[in-house]
Amino acid sequence: MSLLVHQIGPACTVQDQGRSGYLDQGLSLSGVADQLALHEGAALLRQSPDCAALEMAGMGGTFEATQPLTIALTGAPMQASIDGNSVEWNASHPMDVGQRLVIGAARQGNYGYLHVGGGIDKPLFLGSRSAHLTAKVGRAVQAGDRLPTGPHSVSGGIRLCPEDRFAGGTLRVLASFQTPLFDQDTLDRFTRTTFQRGARANRMGMQLESEGQGFAAKGQLNILSEVITPGDIQMTGSGSPFILLPECQTTGGYPRIATVLPCDLPCAAQTPAGGQVRFKFVTLDEAVALHAAYLADLSRLPSRIEPLIRDPHDIPDLLSYQLVGGMISATE
């Protein structure tokens, strides 16, 4: 089984949860920019979140089913249709042989995801199917490619309500080893500042802009390169912060003022250009509790799915809905 790619936007890649365990060899994690979207797709298809999906950066494409299959759409909402009929985002849909799925531009956020039943069954490389373009592992998907799918039974017709994370917001951060290099006045100003996502952004990282002076650390020109991970917030020489994302480098010498918690990285990655973010420091104990709650929420996603078309007998709060709005007379 496979999806035939007729048209595709730039920088669309196959991604899964990433390739861990190779930082000491200079290879960073890669994987989806929005881990929550990957788990949402797995819940909609009733399969493992280890399955790979197509990550679409801002623009989708046109895809044809070569065999009956089921698809799910999550992440940044995009215009989508099957054979010209609009289909709902954050839902799963069956496709028959020859049907065409068209996915347009993102209406919110940055990264949309196309999941298929059985996952995209590309060969594993170092334990992952993720492309890592900056490390030249794999490549972007191109027109004419076939995306092979694993075995699965065709179903579809379910949806879930996604967590709102496509317009920016407050990102919770933890102090890093280099946070003490920034004096308290600078740290206070950092948490008071409202930042806008700049135009410079990709899977390596995203630039943030703000009014006023930049943010500098003491002795920052003498900092030795250290291990860095996704979520770290580096301050460049101009004092502008960059939030590092899945394809970030494995070491760096720019001072890091803090690290975004994993549970808030989807919100960071999905913040659109011009979207506003602020930062809030939390303690280590708070960070551990927040991460545990995030993992628990991921595990509960399968219990949150519901049919696309609901039977009125199964809606306990049916009487709370406005059922007569827009009624017209049958005789006038």
CATH at 229: 2.40.100.10
Instruction: Find the helix or strand (DSSP H, E) in which 185 lies.
Output: helix 184-192
pLDDT at position 295 over 90: yes
pLDDT in tens, 242-268: 999 998 888 877 888 999 999 999 999
Domain match, 121 and 243 both:
no
Predicted local confidence at residue 26, as pLDDT: 85
Domain match, 73 and 212 both:
no
Q: Burial level of 282, CB count in 10 A (0-12/13-18/19+)?
A: middle
pLDDT in tens, 130-188: 999 888 999 999 999 999 998 887 777 899 988 889 989 999 999 988 899 999 999 99
Residue 325 inside a domain? The answer is no
Boundary of a domain, candidates 103, 133, 159: 159
Closest CA to 104 of 89, 93, 117: 89
13-15 and 69-75: which strand pairing? unpaired
Token reading at 221: 């020109």
Cα 92 to Cα 70: distance, rounded to the nearest angstrom: 7
Q: How sure is the predictor about 237, in pLDDT bands with cuts at 50, 70 and 90?
A: confident
State CA 203 to chain mean position distance: 10
Cα 65 to Cα 200: distance, rounded to the nearest angstrom: 35
Cα 164 to Cα 173: distance, rounded to the nearest angstrom: 19
Please check whether residue 197 is in contact with residue 207, taking contact to mean a CB–CB distance below 8 angstroms: yes
In Å, what is the CA distance from 297 to each residue of 81, 268, 302? 30, 18, 10
pLDDT in tens, 114-133: 999 999 999 999 999 999 98
Greater model confidence, 282 or 250: 282
Domain match, 155 and 184 both:
no
Mean pLDDT, rounded, for 22-36: 90
Domain match, 280 and 148 both:
no
Domain match, 86 and 184 both:
no
Domain match, 12 and 139 both:
yes
DSSP for 257-302, written as a single string: EEEE-GGGHHHHHHPPTT-EEEEEE--HHHHHHHHHHHHHHHHHGG
Residue 242 inside a domain? The answer is yes
The total number of structural domains that make up the chain: 2
Residue 23 inside a domain? The answer is yes
DSSP for 156-180, written as a single string: --EE--PPP-SSEEEEEEE--TTGG
Boundary of a domain, candidates 135, 159, 183: 159
Please check whether residue 122 is in contact with residue 130, taking contact to mean a CB–CB distance below 8 angstroms: no
Residue 243 inside a domain? The answer is yes
Token reading at 22: 């190779």
Predicted local confidence at residue 323, as pLDDT: 52
Domain match, 136 and 12 both:
yes
Residue 307 inside a domain? The answer is no
Count CA atoms within 13 Å of residue 288 on its CB side: 3
Q: Which domain holds residue 224?
A: 168-292
State CA 152 to chain mean position distance: 24
Domain match, 22 and 122 both:
yes
Residue 305 inside a domain? The answer is no
Please check whether residue 96 is in contact with residue 65, taking contact to mean a CB–CB distance below 8 angstroms: yes
pTM, entire model: 0.88
Cα 307 to Cα 81: distance, rounded to the nearest angstrom: 19
Cα 14 to Cα 11: distance, rounded to the nearest angstrom: 10
Domain match, 104 and 175 both:
no
Cα 37 to Cα 198: distance, rounded to the nearest angstrom: 23
Domain match, 20 and 70 both:
yes
Residue matched to tokens 């950066």: 57
Residue 313 inside a domain? The answer is no
Residue 90 inside a domain? The answer is yes
Alpha-carbon dihedral sign for residues 103, 104, 107, 112: positive
Boundary of a domain, candidates 105, 131, 159: 159
Neighbours of 21 (CB within 10 A): 11
Cα 278 to Cα 265: distance, rounded to the nearest angstrom: 13
Domain match, 146 and 263 both:
no
Domain match, 189 and 154 both:
no
